[in-house]
Amino acid sequence: MSAAEVVKEASMLKQKEMIAGNYDALTSAPETGRKMAATFVPGNLNELIMTFGLLNNLPEINAIQNGMRKLSGDYILEAEKAGHSEDVCTYVKSDLGMMAKGNIAPNGKPLPKPDVLLLSYTGCFTFMKWFELVREQYKCPTVMLHVPYQGDGQVTKNMRDYIVKQLKEEVIPKLEKVSGVKFDIDRLRQYMRESARAEDDLVWVLESAKARPSPIDAYFGGVYYIGPIFTAFRGTPDATEYYRLLRAEIEERMRRGLGPITPEGDMKEQKYRLVVEGPPNWTSFREFWKMFYDEGAVVVASSYTKVGGTYDLGFRHDPEHPLESLAEYALGCYTNRNLPQRVDLLEKYMTEYQADGLLINSIKSCNSFSAGQLMMMREIEKRTGKPGAFIETDLVDPRYFSAANVKNRLESYFQMIDQKRRVASAA
């Protein structure tokens, strides 16, 4: 299959249409009179936002789009000229630089000022500082949903009740005021029914990587698969249809014994099965991915694809208990889990997906992911006997992607896996 044929996958076309349609709706909001919320991916309340007829703009997604389109470097320099430190999350600097340079969306039109900033705090302190900076620019209402961190590694009734109380007393009344729309719990329930259907199919797709050969790459391909459900589309019939199409495509790939689709066509030989911890690098995404499939390395599970929900651990949005369900969802996101929980999850992936090793992509400017990663790697090596490796890049700052350095480390790592296999077969 050629690269030209790859883009004809029905699910890929569907997702491109959805993203383009959302940006068109956002940029035309001043003409249509629609109101807009800005929010983040982990723990986002998309179903609730839609219940009030609000559009959803996600700053992280804008930063990722700008990273993949090679625009984020200039935006980051713009933010640093305005006084933001080199150590600040590069999503933040890309977003602030984008705002300073006209706030132009991928469709070439300016993004209007949001009508409300909705922050669901899930384990990343940077989000709060980010919205403080954005609020200074936009001067619009801000709503915060505080989500307790799973410090003890469990979700309690008190935690759920605390979030539901905030939803009832703070979030919903403010969204009613901003939108001019009365809260309708039945409308929320309908969106949640759609969410649960899509979540079922997403989990099936992610778990298809247990097969040999894996029909998907659960990191580089996975970031596309999670796109609709983690962002402005969860709860929509469009998202349900996207995941129905995607599942049918993966079922067909499994039936034919095919590996993942890469930017250069079907992946052939699968020599190494990896679990990856940490976000990808977006500014050199294709080059980064190519380093893996050129070596026959397929990622069978990743922690990054759980930042917007750990659906593979059983969570589904529940229309019978809508507000409690929103609380459970926000509490369970990967960045809201403590380090022992993260290690347990990675160990589960190593075992269930029969991985050859754990690779950590440590992000220079992302503390919520990077803290404790070396400890996590050592613990996984100890528990599984499989080798770990550590590479360093950044989210959307092109200055911190050294292709030669990453390639050398990956090649050394694959040699280490080969050596371990030889020792094991000789024993």
Bridge-based pairing state of the strands 265-266 and 261-262: antiparallel
Bridge partners (DSSP) of residue 38 are: 57, 117
Task: Determine the angle formed by the axes of helices 59-68 and 72-81, rounding to 10 degrees.
Answer: 120
**Residue 122, pLDDT score:** 76
Rounded to the nearest 10°, the torsion over CA 279, 282, 285, 291 is -50
How does DSSP classify residue 281?
P
How far is the C-alpha of 92 from the C-alpha of 396, rounded, in Å? Answer: 10
How far is the C-alpha of 215 from the C-alpha of 300, rounded, in Å? Answer: 9
**Residue 369, pLDDT score:** 85
Residue 309: name the closest of 170, 147, 175, 184 by CA.
147
Q: Per residue in 75-92, pLDDT tens?
A: 999 999 999 988 889 999
Q: Per residue in 125-181, pLDDT tens?
A: 888 889 999 999 899 999 999 999 998 999 999 999 999 999 999 999 999 999 999
Determine the residue type at 345: L
How far is the C-alpha of 273 from the C-alpha of 276, rounded, in Å? Answer: 10
> Would you say how long the chain is, in residues?
427
**Residue 8, pLDDT score:** 64
In this structure, what token pair is assigned to residue 106? 């991928």
**Residue 60, pLDDT score:** 94
Query: Which segments of 179-266 are extended strands (E)?
Result: 261-262, 265-266
Name the percent of the chain lying above pLDDT 90: 89
How far is the C-alpha of 114 from the C-alpha of 61, rounded, in Å? Answer: 15
Phi, psi for 266 (deg, rounded to 5): -70, 135
Write down all domains in the chain, each with its CATH number in brackets.
3-184 (3.40.50.11890), 188-426 (3.40.50.11900)
Which segments in the chain show pLDDT lower than 70?
1-8
Residue 272: name the closest of 158, 426, 386 by CA.
386
**Residue 128, pLDDT score:** 86
Bridge partners (DSSP) of residue 146 are: 121
Radius of gyration over every alpha carbon of the chain, rounded to an integer in angstroms: 21
Q: What is the mean pLDDT of the chain?
A: 94
**Residue 174, pLDDT score:** 98
